[in-house]
Amino acid sequence: MFLVKKKAEHADAEGVAQQVAAEAERLYRSGKMHCAEAVLASIKNRFAPELGDELVSLASGFGGGSGSGCICGAVSGGTMALGLVLAGDRKGASARTRELHEWFKSEYGATCCKILTAQGKSGCLGLTANVAGKVARLLQDK
């Protein structure tokens, strides 16, 4: 019985992660949000819908590697989303942020926007969706 329950919980968690990823992709694709905003908004909408949409504007400066091409905006948005949902749990937010960065580096080789977009921004849509899904998984594992 325990194993069946665990499999069901995993399936539910994966479904939530896929929904969050799809929403982040839709928001990015709309052209109304960049990577950081789309990740933050999709996580906020799922895990803290009671908070106002205006807080997504906090991510407005993080797209394109914070304007300097440094840290990937999707990772920045994910980091902000973890802090938002895990408010009051600095250790938990820090640990999950570390997990997010380690996962991202293992998946994409770097967190630097300049490196990731050296051949163009065609991969940003997928990065945005994947980061949002990963953050949703990290939050459900808490």
pLDDT at 51: 94
Does the pLDDT of residue 2 top 80, yes or no? no
pLDDT at 20: 98
The string of pLDDT tens digits covering residues 17-60 is 999 999 999 999 999 999 999 999 999 999 999 999 999 999 99
The string of pLDDT tens digits covering residues 60-112 is 999 888 877 789 999 999 999 999 999 999 999 999 999 999 999 999 999 99
Does the pLDDT of residue 10 top 70, yes or no? no
Q: What's the whole-model pTM score?
A: 0.91
Residue 110 makes CB contacts below 8 A (sequence gap 6+) with 116
For residue 13, CA distances in Å to 54, 109, 122, 139 come to 27, 26, 28, 10
> How far is Cα 111 from Cα 2, in angstroms, rounded to an integer?
38
As a three-state string, the secondary structure of the chain is: CHHHHHHHHHHHHHHHHHHHHHHHHHHHHCCCCCHHHHHHHHHHHHHCCCCCHHHHHHHCCCHHHHHHHCECHHHHHHHHHHHHHCCCCHHHHHHHHHHHHHHHHHHHCCCEHHHHCCCCCCCHHHHHHHHHHHHHHHHHCC
User: Among 9-13, 36-40, 88-92, 133-137, where is mean pLDDT lowest?
Assistant: 9-13
Query: Quick one: tokens of 132?
Result: 């949002």
